[in-house]
Structure formats: C-alpha cells, structure tokens
Amino acid sequence: MGHIIPLVEFSRKLVLLHHHECTVTIIIPSLGPPPEAQAQLLQTLPPAVSHVLLPPVDPTILAHVSTDAKLFLTVDRSIPHLRGAIAALAREFPLAALVADIFGTDAFDVAREFNLAAYFAVPSNALTLALCSYMPKLDAEVSGDYRQLAEPIRLPGCRFAFPVGDLHPSILDRKSDAYERILRHAKRQRLADGFIVNTFMEVEGEIIEALRGEEFANGRPIFPIGPIIQSTITDDGRIFRATRQNECLEWLDSQPPASVLFVSFGSGGTLSQEQLNELALGLEMSHQQFLWVVRSPNTTRDTNASYIGPQSNSNPFNYLPEGFLGRTKGRALLVPSWAPQIQVLGHRATGGFLNHCGWNSTLESILNGVPLISWPLHGDQKMVAVQLVEHLKIALRPIAGEDGLIRREEISKVVRGLMVGEEGLAVRNEMNVLKEAAKNAMSEEGSSTKSLELLVSQWKNRSGEPSLGT
C-alpha cells in the first residue's frame, strides 16, 4: 500500500489537472485477491483512471524467501501478464508511456516492445534514488561485508552521512536473498527515459541537482512532483471507516490544541511483544495525551511481513501490559489497527506524530506541520530517519539499547521532549517552515506543479492524446 497509494494519487492528479488529455491504467501484480484496503482505494478512482489486476503468482515459488524477495519475484513472474495487458490497451488507446514502480524495471523491456517511453517511479524520496545510483559503485568498490566499513556512507547530494547500519537491511546483508535482485534493478534503473519522484525541490533539491549532474541521470530528466499524499475526499467515502473516524475526531475535539501525540506505524508495521510493552509503558510514563493505533505484535521478527501478507485478526489490546488501559483512561485513546491518519494529522489537537518514517506518512506530517518522533522499522526507513533528524531537523529519535530495544525511560524522555520540551519547540518551528515550502511547491507556479506540467508535455509530444500506463 505504501507504493500503491502515491501511484494512485499521482494518477488521480494527472487526470484531474489534465482531464482532456490523459487517461491512466494502473496495472498491479498480485499474490491473490487484493486486500480490503487496496480494493476500497481502487473503488475511489475517477472514471479516467482504470486498473488491471494481473493473475496471481504461484505462491509455491515464494515459499521460504524474505518479504523483499517476494516483491521482486512477484513482479518478475508477472511480466508475461503485463505484456498481455499492455497489448490489450494498445488496441484501444494511443499509449505514450509506461511508469514502472521501483520493483519493476523489467517492465522497461516491455515498454520498448510497444515503443513506449519508460519512466522509473520512486514512491518514496530522492534519497532512495540516490541510494539506487550509488549501489552499483558500492558493490564494485567494496568486497566483503558492508558492516565492516569504518566510514559512514555519503550519497550524491547529501550533506549528511549515514552510519553503515542505517542502510536498507537487504542491501546491508550481501548474502540476503534480495541483495542481488536489488543490485540488478539498481543497475537497470539507468535504462529509464526519466525519473518521477514523490518529493519537492525545497526539501531535497540538493540531492536532485546532484543526481542530474551525475552519470546516473546522463541527461535524462528527474521530475520531483510531490508532495503527493492520499486524498482526504473520495467519490463515495467507502475508503474511510466512518465509525472509527468519528470516534477519533470526536475525542480529539475534546483535547487542547497541539496536546496529543499520534502513534502509528503505517499500513502494516508491527513491533515485538517486548517492544510493544516498552512503548506502552513509555507512553504512560510521559504523562502526555496520545492517540495510538495498536496492532498485535509480530511473531516472525519480520516487521515488514504484514505489508504484503495477512495481518493478525486477534484483539491487539490483549497484548498490552496489565492494567494499562485503566491507568491511561481519560488521557489516551487506543484504536485497533486503523485510524483516519490524514484527518488526525490535520486536527488542531494533534501536536506530534510518532511513526515509522514511511515517506507517505512523512509527507502527510509536513503538509500538516506536525513534528515527528522517528521510529524506523525496516527498508529505507532508517535512512529517512537520519535525514529527518540530522538534516531537516523536523524529528527527534529515541535511542535503542545494545539489545535493539527502545526502553520505556527513553520513550518517555523523547515524547516529553517533543510535546513540552525546548527541543520540541525547535523541531516544531523547522516543521512549520517546511510546511510552507511544501505548499509553495504545489501552488500554481510552484516547482512541483511546473515539473508535472513538463512531464505531461513530454508524453503529449509522443502521442496526440496520451493514455498513460502505470
């Protein structure tokens, strides 16, 4: 969902701003029937945006591999079906471009077969694109385990360096079942005719300019078209669970301005049982108001697995420390599994957001001016955390112990620091500056608006009335 949402919203924006010129088809590889949240999202698409669910991949080929490897394998095995889907579309529309997600560079070959421009879409930030550009060089220059590197990693355009341990886990471990696949796609990204990134110049301009000047881009355009976030208004409202939404917003209505910490780990992030306990007790110790989206703990130590696999149907409140609900009654609202995040972040009572450093959630926070507590779980989230804390200075980050756990005392300290401390005031001020920059980027004459218009003009030049395959 973290990839589908920005691509859906990108498609929605294309047809709303250029409705006489663009139609879009979203093509989705799958492991089976779409999850409920995905199905509801797709039901909200405007008429000019359609979607195709490719036939499910044989699940037996995905047994005993990591989540990252499953994603790559699913797309790889779906390429023949993608070819058939595009052939069917080409019989109906004058196609102009194929936009491939970060896992789908093999789709570039299909685009060439149909004489389509091939674009690489980064649903996250320019930092991810910088890592993609740097990875082949890192692989060629370093032998052995990356963990043995003495110096931190510095990516193109980054004034800040990354401790090696903050690299994407599947990149850090060269023996992982996903490493060679990631490396292969990092090399193939250079085959794209252009790059579309869900970011804006005011937040990552240095990285984008550095990539434009690198051999990586080699004259091909990079289009920062963000921040693109999930729409708060849909055609029929079915994507929102009205009862839960009302519960959250009514509770927030009763709280003082900027007094509530919102706690959520994205569309599927989970914690271990021990870490769940520490988080609960840390929130309690902080004596701050909070709204927490609680999920059942993971049992596989894979904090990423629930993003593409089934989530637990058990009551997550059963896993909380004994007496916790009673002790926090009145200053906390706990909801199981889901909350209307965009409305919560936009509410006057929300004064902070403890989250997993997913880029979608980060952009939603920026647009609402809500400062962050960074708690990365997997993927590129540790790198994003470094960016938010060290460079943009819009977040605080709790420190884990040697055993990897973030203890209750540390959680309480950071929560109080954000909500009522001097460091929180400084972070809040930086976030307000970035909020205005994001609005400016999306304005009529803003950098992202102009970037999107330039992208569409390129597609129009390829075909009089383009249909855009995503």
The pLDDT tens digits for 199-227 are: 999 999 999 999 998 777 778 999 999 99
Residues of 96-125 as b/e, b for ≥16 C-beta within 10 angstroms?
A: bbbbbbbbbbbbbebbeeeebbbbbbbbbb
Nearest CA-CA partner of 108 in 187, 44, 55: 187
Cβ(291)–Cβ(344) below 8 Å: yes
Assess whether the region 4-226+444-469 and the region 242-437 belong to the same CATH fold. Answer: yes
CA atoms within 13 A on the CB side of 240: 21
Residue with tokens 């400016």: 440
Cβ(396)–Cβ(389) below 8 Å: yes
Average pLDDT over residues 155-168: 87
Task: Report the C-alpha gap between 66 and 267 in whole angstroms.
Answer: 19
Residue 369 has phi, psi (to 5 degrees) of 65, 35
Cβ(394)–Cβ(427) below 8 Å: yes
Which tokens go with 374?
């960074």
Res. 338 pLDDT band, cuts 50 70 90: confident
Average pLDDT over residues 384-391: 94
- Indicate which residues carry an active-site annotation: 3, 101
How big is the chain, counted in residues? 470
Percent of the chain with pLDDT over 90: 65
Helix-, strand-, coil-residue percentages of the chain, each rounded to 5? 45, 15, 40
Q: What is the pLDDT of residues 234-274, one digit of tens each?
A: 434 444 456 778 899 999 999 999 999 999 998 778 999 99
Angle at 37 between CA 34 and CA 41, to 5 degrees: 95
Amino acid 234: pLDDT: 44
> Cα-atom radius of gyration of the chain, to the nearest Å?
22
* DSSP class of 95: E
Res. 156 pLDDT band, cuts 50 70 90: confident
Which tokens go with 468?
């855009």
Element (H, E) at 132: helix 126-141
Res. 168 pLDDT band, cuts 50 70 90: confident
Average pLDDT over residues 296-311: 59
Is the pLDDT confidence value at 469 over 70?
A: no
**Antiparallel, parallel or unpaired: β 332-336 and 395-396:** unpaired
Average pLDDT over residues 418-427: 97
- Residue by residue, DSSP assigns 317-334 as GGGSPTTHHHHTBTTEEE
* DSSP class of 398: P
Nearest CA-CA partner of 399 in 183, 163, 50: 163
* From the candidate CATH numbers 3.40.800.20, 3.40.630.10, 3.40.50.2000, 3.30.70.20, the one assigned to the domain spanning 242-437: 3.40.50.2000
Virtual CA dihedral for 289, 266, 440, 232, nearest 10 degrees?
Answer: -90
What residue spans define the domains of the chain?
A: 4-226+444-469, 242-437
Cβ(50)–Cβ(35) below 8 Å: no
Residue 144 has phi, psi (to 5 degrees) of 85, -165
User: What is the number of other CB atoms lying within 10 angstroms of the CB of residue 175?
Assistant: 7
Task: Report the C-alpha gap between 173 and 168 in whole angstroms.
Answer: 9
Nearest CA-CA partner of 96 in 106, 111, 110: 111
CATH superfamily of the domain spanning 4-226+444-469: Glycogen Phosphorylase B; (3.40.50.2000)
